[in-house]
Amino acid sequence: MKKQQLWGGRFKKGLADIAKDFSYSLSFDHVLLPYDVAVNKAHVLGLVGAGVLTESEKDQLHHALDEVLVEAEDELSQAPDDEDVHGFVERLVVQKLGDLGKKMHTGKSRNDQVATDVRLYLKHHITELNELIHSTLNVLGAFAERHKATVFPGFTHLQIAQPVVLGHHICAYIEKIKRDQNRLVDAFERTDVCPLGSAAMAGPNYGIDRLMVAGELGFSDITLNSMDAVSDRDFMFDFLYAASMITLHLSQFCEELIFWSSSVVGFISIGDEYTTGSSIMPQKKNPDIAELIRGQAGPVVGQLMGLHEMVKGLPLTYNRDLQNDKRLLIEVVDMTAMALAVFNGMIPTIDVHEDKIERAMMSGHILATEVADYLTQKGVPFRDAHEVVGQMVQHADAQGKQVHELTLDELASFSSVVESDVMDRLSFKAAIDQKQGIGATSFREVDARLSQLKEEFGW
């Protein structure tokens, strides 16, 4: 049977080969095939309800569509010359059923069809990404639980600041990833709206029950303006932003892992399964996988910006520019899923070297703020206490010591309020235990937060 284009009756010449190469999208939108088949099957049901097709015709079309799904991989391997996935599916159905196959597109446009396909695709992959996020929270929770009593240097400006619990540090990323999960849920909700039945942009001339069709496809609601329905890509923006935040947070954490694992710092070692060597330096153990995860954030944000620039100047309704929205969406789905899966595998391989951590905490006057707070609690205005401790730091530097290594007499020489009880404050664990507010780093608060998370996620 001669191939029939989805359009072309009013054209005398066919599309130039270079224009085909430039404009055909089957090479990437073939991933929409199962969703396109589902959309066609649901639309056929709508046509039966509208009296356009009979039950017998519906059965034949559904059977042919099922066969297309089974045969698709082999058909695609033959590099078919179809414009897009919609033409690919329709051509195969027409080959099987002749004129009946040509009826399948009645009352439907590729404009509302692709919008529906993409929403189904994205709903499916948001669900899969949500499962990966759940695994991320699990592995981070286990990491935090293992180190809920491990003292660790907290940093600001990448300078040693105050003692914290390593589990508290890890829990900070759990909070970030939890927000990412919430953003995915929000994106799913806005994706879960069915545009099918909007046709090209004005709606069809057939009495198709859109609510029934949407229900068949598993949508919770339908769009309420046909022109908005075929042009709307807001749901993609919601997802791409959520994905950009996921990869950003993974990137931030991987940067810390890279820093902690350096031979200069040595706080952690990442397992051999997630590190690589050098082609010339035999001693190297490089955190390449963490670096590659870190590198995903830029391309994902780039795709978000790409869609923004693609859409910002488009008038209503459908414009061909939107063909490329699928390419960048598919890339982001794949990049985000891979980054999460690899991250989830890497985290359990990490070994923490508490001896290196303890040595690092003997630098940077990490307990200076504790001394300032001690003076303030003795009645010294905080700004004055800050000044006094700054002088203590100068004196300690001159002695080659840390502030907490100064003797009681040395500390008392800077302020008359210093008493022997100051020595009770000059340990890392004592400093941590002073932080008793909700959300703070005390051992008690960290344990309490982990208990809440265990209950929330069923760890």
- The reply to whether domains 112-205+225-358 and 364-457 share a CATH topology is no
CATH 3.30.300.30 fits 364-457, yes or no: no
- Is 43 among the residues known to form the active site? no
Return the CATH fold of 17-106.
Fumarase C; Chain B, domain 1 (1.10.275)
Looking at residue 19, its pLDDT comes to 81
Looking at residue 4, its pLDDT comes to 56
pLDDT in tens, 331-364: 999 999 999 999 999 999 999 999 999 999 999 9
Q: Which residues contact 268 (CB under 8 A, 6 or more apart)?
A: 257, 260, 261, 350, 351, 352, 353
Mean pLDDT taken over the chain: 95
CATH 1.20.200.10 fits 112-205+225-358, yes or no: yes
Looking at residue 253, its pLDDT comes to 98
Mean of the pLDDT values across residues 191-201? 98
Mean of the pLDDT values across residues 362-386? 97
Report whether the peptide linkage leading into residue 156 is cis, meaning its omega lies within 30 degrees of zero.
Answer: no
Phi first, then psi: give them for residue 170, nearest 5 degrees. -65, -40
**Residue 2 pLDDT greater than 60, yes or no:** no
Mean of the pLDDT values across residues 369-384? 97
**Residue 8 pLDDT greater than 70, yes or no:** no
**Cβ contact 61:53 at 8 Å:** yes
Instruction: For 31-58, give one letter per residue: b (16+ CB within 10 A) or e.
Output: bbbebbbbbbbbbbbbbbbbebbeeebb
Mean of the pLDDT values across residues 19-36? 91
Instruction: For 219-242, give one letter per residue: b (16+ CB within 10 A) or e.
Output: beebbeebbebbbbbebbbbbbbb
Query: Which one from 220, 262, 278, 363 is the annotated catalytic residue?
Result: 278
Looking at residue 5, its pLDDT comes to 61
Mean of the pLDDT values across residues 202-218? 97
Tell me, yes or no, if the pTM score tops 0.85. yes
Looking at residue 7, its pLDDT comes to 53
**Residue 446 pLDDT greater than 80, yes or no:** yes
Out of 19-23, 172-176, 271-275, 403-407, which region has the weakest mean confidence (pLDDT)? 19-23
pLDDT in tens, 85-132: 999 999 999 999 999 999 999 999 999 999 999 999 999 999 999 999
Looking at residue 14, its pLDDT comes to 76
**Residue 372 pLDDT greater than 50, yes or no:** yes
Q: Look up residue 213 and give its two tokens.
A: 């069709």
Residue 21 pLDDT level (bands cut at 50, 70, 90) = confident
Q: How far apart are CA 217 and CA 427, in angstroms?
A: 62
- Is 86 among the residues known to form the active site? no
Residue 322 pLDDT level (bands cut at 50, 70, 90) = very high
The domain spans of the chain are 17-106, 112-205+225-358, 364-457
Of the candidates 118, 318, 309, the residue with the CA atom closest to the CA atom of residue 231 = 318
